[in-house]
Amino acid sequence: MQVAADLTRLSFYALYLTGAYYTVGPSKPAPRKWPLSRYLTANLVRYLLTLGQHRAPTYIRTLQESPQRNAVIDKATPADFVVTTAKIPRLGASGGVDMTDLGWSKEENDEGGDIGGEWVRRQEDVDRTDWTKKRVVLVVHGGGFTMGSGKGNRLMSVEFVQRLDAVVLAIDYRLSPEYAFPAALQDVISSYFHLLNDHHIPAGNITFAGDSAGANLIMGALYWLRDKKAAPMPACATLFSAPMDREGSTGSHFVNFATDTLPFGSFVKSTKPGHRMFVYSKDTMLTHPYVSPMSYTLTHPGSSALPALPPIMNVVGGLERYCDDGLVFGLKMGKELDELKANGLMSEEDVGKWIYTCDVFEGEFHVFQQFFPKDPKSISSYARIANFVLSQTAHCGVPSHHTDSVTQPKQGVSFFVIDHPNIVELSDVQARERVMKGFDQMADMGFAWVGGGVGSIARTVDRIG
């Protein structure tokens, strides 16, 4: 009954938006060059997710995993692809994935069971045992930590199989609020160990790929692997619209609200006692690097430099709330690398091992590729991501259908603004100016109060120098 009523409201809202679009045009700050499809998608998805904040956690999941949507996903899967159910052992402390230092009890840490998901691959790879030159992509879905599934990211998985001639494992990690931090992180790391230890896939053949919450979890997993030295790092990581700062201390979190699909806060009603900004974690954990990747540091407490993370590519939309997250993360990394080099704690060679590329697609919102996979901008973003992964897994060879030359990403930090088909590289100064412009727009919109409490603007300004 509730679903039917809400869908009726959604239908009337769609009619209202359509009428407004054709009579007065998209309301500011939505760009007037947006087609109706984008205008409706941004507003209707945000409206639906806002409704979810007042409903039980299962509400929005029921809508997302509807038979109709699953049928569309199955139809879009190429006929020569084989999709099979994955069954991944969930590892606790005894299996090398110890989370007790993150506030878990031993019983919580050792909770057994299996992690679900799906394998997506071509027929010739179903029984593969030789992984010497085979690329594998571990896909971690988005959904605000509260919804989503490996199947829901099938179109992304298909892109990786086709473009990279890869095998994809797309996982179903545990969702919040039923399972809060670090349950999902434990599942991502367990899945990586499954590829390494159970299938004996070389770490250098594996790419981490995730969108939104999944991208955040990937960064947490990389930090955990670095801190614990529990396993070799994957070859690289590709992120789609990664939330790097859960405190919301960048301008785009606020000024891009009207042009994005994301509401403020979580997507579902919290079942935990007390107020939380996000149901995934306690507010006291919002500055932990495994929750907010922006809070990382490149040095140990003793000021010795940490080993490099694998090369990272982050693709964001210029009109999404996490746009500035991608820029600030890179600016902070570049600033710390310069300081380490200047203080003699890192050599030029070691600085060159750090690679972070941020692509900003102008006029786009959060994870636009999932909504419009055949749009020229989505195709361009996947092509750039494919080049990035191929460059970091060169020993696996280049797929025969890949006719473009594979180019290496720049060492260190780089930023690109893409207004298809035009690509412009930003300097650090230009990237910083873009971030600071967001703060000016916040002040103009009456959001200056944010700088005092949670989400400190002053801290962000300090991060980017």
Q: Residue 32: its pLDDT value, please? A: 66
When pLDDT is averaged across residues 152-174 and rounded to a whole number, the result is: 98
Domains of the chain by start residue, with CATH: 1-64 (no CATH), 77-464 (3.40.50.1820)
The 3-state DSSP class for residue 322 equals coil
Residue 18 has pLDDT above 60, yes or no: yes
Tens digit of each residue's pLDDT (9 = 90 or more) over 205-224: 999 999 999 999 999 999 99
Chain mean pLDDT for the chain: 90
pLDDT band, very low/low/confident/very high, at 53 (cuts 50, 70, 90): confident
Residue 280, both tokens = 């995934």
Supply the pLDDT for residue 276: 55
Indicate whether 232 pLDDT > 70: yes
pLDDT at position 283? 80
How much is the average pLDDT of 49-70? 83
- The answer to whether residue 275 scores a pLDDT higher than 90 is no
Q: How far is the C-alpha of 432 from the C-alpha of 437, rounded, in Å?
A: 9
State how far the Cα of 164 lies from the Cα of 159, in Å rounded to an integer.
8
Residue 50 is predicted with a pLDDT of 87
Helix (H) or strand (E) segment spanning residue 326: helix 323-342
Of 110 and 195, the structure prediction assigns the larger pLDDT to 195
First and final CA of the chain: distance in angstroms?
53
As a whole number, mean pLDDT of residues 47-75 equals: 85
Tell me if 82 sits within 8 A of 126, measured CB to CB: yes
Residue 267's alpha-carbon distances to 245, 280, 413, in angstroms, are 17, 10, 32
Q: How confident is the model at residue 285 (pLDDT cuts 50, 70, 90)?
A: confident
Which of 63-72, 176-185, 269-278 shows the lowest per-residue confidence on average (mean pLDDT)?
Answer: 269-278
Task: Say if CB 377 and CB 364 are below 8 A apart.
Answer: yes
Residue 341 one-letter amino acid: K
Q: Sign of torsion, CA 48 51 52 53?
A: positive
Average pLDDT over residues 73-89: 96
Higher pLDDT, 47 or 303: 47
pLDDT at site 305: 78
Is residue 299 within 8 A of residue 345, CB to CB? The reply is yes
Q: So what's the pLDDT on residue 83?
A: 98
pLDDT on residue 382: 98
Kindly tell me if the per-residue pLDDT of 234 is higher than 60: yes
